[in-house]
Structure 1
Amino acid sequence: MLHSYLFPISYAFMAFPFAAFLFTLPFMIIQYRKYGYINKVRAFMLYLFLLYVMNAFFLVILPLPSSRHNAALASGALQLIPLNFVNDILRETSVVPSQPSTYLHLLKERAFLQVIFNILLTVPFGMMLRYYFRTGWARVFAFSFLLSLFFEVTQLTGIYGLYDHPYRVFDVDDLIMNTLGGICGYLAAEWLARFLPRIEKLDEHVDLTTKRVTYTRRAIAFLIDSIIWPILASICHYLHIPASFWVATGIYFMLIPWLTDGVTPGKWMVRIRLTKMGERISIAALFKRYALLYWVFFGLNSLLGASLDNLPDISRAFLGIVVFFLNAWFFVHVVIRMFRKDILFYEKLSKTHHVILWKNPTEQAKKESE
């Protein structure tokens, strides 16, 4: 029976790196938006919770049938009699009530262990809801029930139609035990919290003005902007606006940040903004910064790429070499600056840098002026 539990757990651990990779980007955006930075304790707890949810789900759905066209369950797909597990234990047990020495046999019997498993399955869920999300007992009860219902419906529908028939029984006792497990976790969280940092106090002594804006954070903002601003460039191109690439980048990366005090949609998502020597960013500073980056560096890439087909072979080769060395230099420059935690060339020339955007602009301005 132990092997039947270890099998899905091993699959959950193998799948975890892929799930964590998909989870990381939205996790970082939410953390930056909500707290202004990423706390290691908070990150560890959420990734641990993700690993738990994957283990719980894999334990419920694995092993899968060998074919999508599986046969219907001989005993039926529904068990709607509450506490029917008591009859199962009494029917299968070798325990003799008058002989206490036989009581340990329960620890080896399928029906009893199944009940214990269903309780333990959601204990971490209840603990996490109370400790991390600060959820009250009524919501823990409701969420534990809904989680269990999701598991049971997934089984009853054959993973929502993936299989022809349910391959496990929808058991009302599982709903009861899983919900009980969530409440047990809620109660255990009070004891566990004594040995862990208080979640509500993690940000108590954090000064956002002293935190450096990391290249990871900037890369996320750049990624978001790189999804949005090409839409503006496409509109400019559709309207036959001359030099649409340069017009779109000028509007998006110079005009908009000037009007919004150094914020683009991507920067707003991760709560950072541009400033010049701690003061409001000027249009001149934005022009120096982004004309170098977008109009010279990226603009040259765009111009050369668009012109290659119209030039002789020798000119194409020469321009290809120019583009290659330009990109190679910029890549090496960025890598070196990342490791040194230093600013890039266009930031140094424009005397601009990123700061964390507080939720209270008045308080931020006061703090930065001190």
Structure 2
Amino acid sequence: MFQTYLFPISYAFMAFPVAALFFTLPLLIVQYRRHGYINKIRALVLYLLLLYLLNAFFLVLLPLPDSRHNAAPAGSMLQFVPLQFIQDILHNTPITRSDPSSYLNVLTGADFLLAAFNVLLTVPFGMFLGYYFRTRWVVCIILSFALSLLFEITQITGIYGFFDHPYRIFDVDDMITNTLGGMIGFKLSLWISGLLPRIEKLDSQEDLSAKRVTYTRRALAFLLDSILLLAVTILLNLLSLSISLWAVSMVYFLSIPLLTGGRTFGKWVVRIRLRSEDGGPARPWGVWARYGLLYGVLGGMNSLMPDSSFFVSIGTALAALVKIVILLADLAFFIHLVLRLIKRDRPLLYEELSRTRNVISWPKRHQAAASETVDNTTNNE
């Protein structure tokens, strides 16, 4: 029986890296928006929650039928009698008062183990709700019931119509035992929370103004800006306005930060902004020097690479020389970037020349709210 459970668990662990890859981008955005930085403990808990949900769904859904066109079930796929599992246990593994071993048979019987599994399935869910999300017990009951209902609907619909017929029954007892498991997990979280870091106090000692803006955060802002610029460029070309991505980028980066206090769309999402070295607002010449070097010079050279007509017009020898210069510039920038990733206290060259830097942009009202939350928690203790 336990081999049946090991099969979906192994698949869940194999699928976790792929799921984590898709989960990382929204995780980073939400954490930067809500907390201003990435806390390792908080991130670990959220990835563990993802791993748990994968295991739970794989345990509920696997193994799948051999074909999408599976055979119709012979009997009813609906079981609406509450606590029917108790009757099944007593019927299939009867208890004899004069035979103590019959009690052990109940605990090792398939019906009891199935009910116990359904309870254990949602115990971690209740623990996450109690420890990380700090929900009330009523909310835990509702969410545990909702998760179980999602399991049952997914099964009875044949994974929402993917299979021709349902391949597992809709069992109200599963919802009862799953909800019970969530409540047990919630109670356990109250007992063990004293042994673990308090989630609501993780940020109490953090000074966001002194934190360095990581390259991960900057890369995410760049990715979001790039998606926006690509969409704008495509839209302009659909409107018969033939404008290159490089031209749109130059207008965007040379003007938007000056109008928004050092922010672009990507920087706004991850809560960072450009400032001068002295901590004041970024000066126009600093913004123009920064993005002129990065996107005007380096980006401009790379924008020539796909333009075959340009290289044809300047001749074969000169075209080869230009391509070599561009490749060498890219290589030099890549090496420079790697060195700065190793020595994180040193700014990039275009930052030094423009005398600008990225800083965390965290609203004062959020800082006050966070401090008030910590104070209230301390007082309640």
On whether the aligned pair clears a TM of 0.5, the verdict is yes
Higher mean Cα deviation, 240-249 or 342-351? 240-249
Residue of structure 2 equivalent to 1:368? none
User: For each residue in 1:273-323, what CA deviation from the matched residue of structure 2 results, as whole angstroms up to 9, or x when unmatched?
Assistant: 110020011111101111111111101221354222433222222222122
Show the counterpart of 1:319: 322
Runs of 4+ more than 6 Å apart: 238-243, 361-364
Trace 1:4-43 onto structure 2 (pairs within 5 A).
4-43=4-43
User: 1:121-146: per-residue Cα shift (whole Å, max 9, x none)?
Assistant: 11111111111011111111111111
Task: Name the counterpart of 1:300.
Answer: 301
Contact 1:249 1:294 in 2 (8 A): yes
CA deviation after TM superposition for structure 1 residue 254, in Å: 2.1
Within 5 A, what are the aligned runs for 1:88-127?
88-127=88-127
Residue in 1 that maps onto 2:272: 272
Counterpart for residue 195 of structure 1: 195
Give 1:239 shift: 7.3
Cα shift readout 1:200-246 (whole Å, capped 9, x = no counterpart): 11111100112111111100000000111234445666778797556
Shift of 1:74: 2.1
| The 10-residue stretch of structure 1 (337-346 or 55-64) with the greater mean CA deviation from structure 2 | 337-346
Q: Secondary structure at the match of 1:248?
A: helix
Ranges in structure 1 where 5+ consecutive residues have no aligned partner: 365-370
CA contact (8 A) 1:236 1:248 kept: no
Q: Distance in 2 between matches of 1:208 and 1:360?
A: 11
How far apart are residue 183 of structure 1 and its match?
1.1
Within 5 Å, which residues of 2 pair with 1:198-277? 198-234=198-234, 245=245, 247-277=247-277
Distance 1:175 1:362 in 2: 39
Distance 1:87 1:362, change over 3 A: closer
Any idea what SS the aligned residue of 2:358 has? strand
Which 5+ residue runs of structure 2 have no aligned equivalent? 369-381
Q: Deviations over 1:5-59 (max 9, x none)?
A: 1111111111111111111111011101110001111011000111100000000
Structure 2 counterpart SS, 1:274: strand
Contact 2:118 2:177 in 1 (8 A): yes
Say which of 330, 348, 354 aligns to 1:350.
Answer: 354
Over 3 Å counting, the alpha-carbon distance change for 1:323 and 1:243 in structure 2 is: same
* SS at 1:95 equivalent: coil
Give the Cα–Cα distance (whole angstroms) in 2 for the partners of residues 93 and 304 of structure 1.
76
Q: In structure 1, what residue type is equivalent to 2:265?
A: P
Whole-Å separation in 2 of the counterparts to 1:305 and 1:217: 29
Answer with 174-183 or 223-232: which moved more.
Answer: 223-232
Would the aligned equivalents of 2:73 and 2:167 in 1 still touch at CA under 8 Å?
yes
Change (3 A) 1:95 1:362: closer
Q: Normalising to structure 2: TM-score of the pair?
A: 0.91
Asked if the contact 1:289/1:349 (under 8 Å) is kept, the reply is yes
TM-score where L is the length of structure 1: 0.93
Shift of 1:116: 0.6
CA 1:304–1:75 in 2, change beyond 3 Å: closer, same or farther? closer
| Correspondence for 1:60 | 60
RMSD: 2.0
> What amino acid sits opposite 2:297 in the alignment?
V
Q: Match of 1:345, as an amino acid?
A: L
